[in-house]
A and B are shown apart, each in its own frame.
Chain A
């Protein structure tokens, strides 16, 4: 058996390989389920039911898909330039902090001002997320500090900041209006007009999901139809060539980190506006779901294509949602992470088939095109 680098990629392969990886992943997962005494077919049927086909399942899946759509896009935007921003988690927290701040600042208004809230919250969250993302960005651009580790460390710092704001300080976000709230720390409730609207009745689509789809399209245009994306591609493939061509790598690092952080931040705004309506500082709230890390899974499965991220986010969101719904003796916690890991492993392994052709040689003379035997003797 021999691997040969492909010069061209048949179009069907980029569909067939991810699908094949997915099938393989569910096969491997079935083995683990059998080994731990579960019935894989029954488990898969339950997942499918809880995630997509059951009553109200799709609406619940979209709730899970919304944050990871944002973090997936954030990861895709950065990973495209080989800039490994693992900090979407923290950037999302900061976005939530920014969005809740502006919503509280705007105070109680009548119901017609909801669009104002939505725009203001997105802007504030985007700025907060971008600034948090720019910390590893600046360090990478000017001190060549490894962005993987700095962005990851900042996730922990952001989580502690959330806890601090709600539990250990008299911050602007903390509700101290009632005796009960002072005894059991919690965030101030947002004004009612700042609740984001939803669409549809059978399947409830949160506004955040729609905004995420819009962001995906913008990102796709930016990365495939504009100079910005072209330069990102060149810097990713060959930093040296990019420098010779006069591309400003530093500036690109900063802008990509800012874009990535802003998208993750808007994901935080959507958490506040769509779902929680308050800044939840507890470790069982915003911090429990690991949106940032799941976003990396989403982005990698989508092969960093923003449009594919939308589809994958719904798929993985379904898995997450099934995880919450089914959690119990038949569906132990951790199973979702195991599944995500296996899917990602299979997708990564499948990349090999996209880049290389697997050639099985039967006889050494069967492929006489290359090799020493047919070289003209001199």
Chain B
């Protein structure tokens, strides 16, 4: 029963959805504070290569090496985000162009490829460590739910905790309220004594950290190893940005969207394994086409305000010019 197409696709949907979830939660935090960061793809790739590097170089118990790798990926994602934060918050640069610049800088033809080549990584080098599935409570063989829920890697369970924490943080804490104020009305937040600059910096950096971890999901879990260029994550960073829009800037809906797109990413491989007679390009195009379709559905007839976009998203805050 657990090898039916549906169960396989759903189990893989969780696998492929996890990096999307991490990345979109990070982007959500940055955007809720009013900063659009289009550099997700670049931050993810850099996180991926750094995470892979740690697992190749550090000897030790598997669990501790992997934890270290995830921490390093997060930090490297945050370091990339710091460039964007400095340019857009302190130097008031255009957030869209700066984000694109970050993707070019850190992305598949930039720093991540550079670092990978300098360290001598190539696709033939097997990963020494990777996240295996954890059989939770011995329930992995449970029909249907077993492979989908109880036989996933630790990253998946971590992402659930992250989604819960981000949701609670934004909705139920004072800091979360302040973040939302900074994103909606920075001038009022400033008048209330909230440090707009500090809040934006912190959340852009945390967002970058999430993106770095999302990248590590690829190099340490989905396809352990390192391939320079566009093939490793293939636009997942951009899908994560789209996810934030059709999650209406809510953490719980990011979870739904991530698995929807995880399923779309997993479907081609599952169908190909069963020799379905469709040109693979049509299947591979599915997530991209569906991103467009869902975005259109979400944006039709809804104004920016109804969508739930932070009102000050993309606008630099300058105290003297409010």
Contacts and interface: CB of A to CB of B under 8 A. Distances in A.
Contacts, number: 158
A332 B291 contact: no
Interface stretch (B148-156, B233-241, B249-257): B233-241
Given A149-B291, A337-B109, A156 B104 contact: no
Nearest to A283: B231
Instruction: Please classify the interface of chain A as helix (H, G, I), strand (E, B), loop, or mixed, using the class held by over half of its residues.
Output: helix
Contact of A157 (B113, B288, B321): B288
Contact of B284 (A160, A337, A338): A160
Contact of B101 (A5, A160, A344): A344
Contacts of B111: 334, 337-338, 341
Contacts of A146: 242, 245, 295, 299
A341 B281 contact: no
A349 interface: yes
B109 A160 contact: no
A337 B100 contact: no
Contacts of B94: 348, 351
Nearest to A165: B281
Contacts of A168: 279-281
Interface residues of A, number: 49
Interface string A352-370: 1001000000000000000
A148 interface: yes
Nearest to B49: A334
B7 interface: no
Given A36-B118, A351-B93, A345 B83 contact: yes
A341 B101 contact: yes
Given A161-B281, A300-B97, A300-B101, A150 B295 contact: yes
Q: Tell me if B's interface is mostly helix, strand, loop or mixed.
A: helix
B292 A154 contact: yes
Nearest to A353: B91
A47 B285 CA distance: 38
Contacts of A86: 100
Contacts of B169: none
Interface string A1-39: 001010000000000000000000000000000001000
Contact of B285 (A160, A290, A333): A160
Interface of B: 38, 83, 87, 91-94, 96-98, 100-118, 228, 231, 234-235, 238-239, 241-242, 245, 279-282, 284-285, 288-289, 291-292, 295-296, 299-300, 303-304, 320-321
Interface of A: 3, 5, 36, 79, 84, 86, 139, 143-146, 148-150, 152-154, 156-157, 160-161, 163-164, 168-169, 283, 290, 293-294, 296-297, 300, 332-338, 340-342, 344-345, 348-349, 351-352, 355
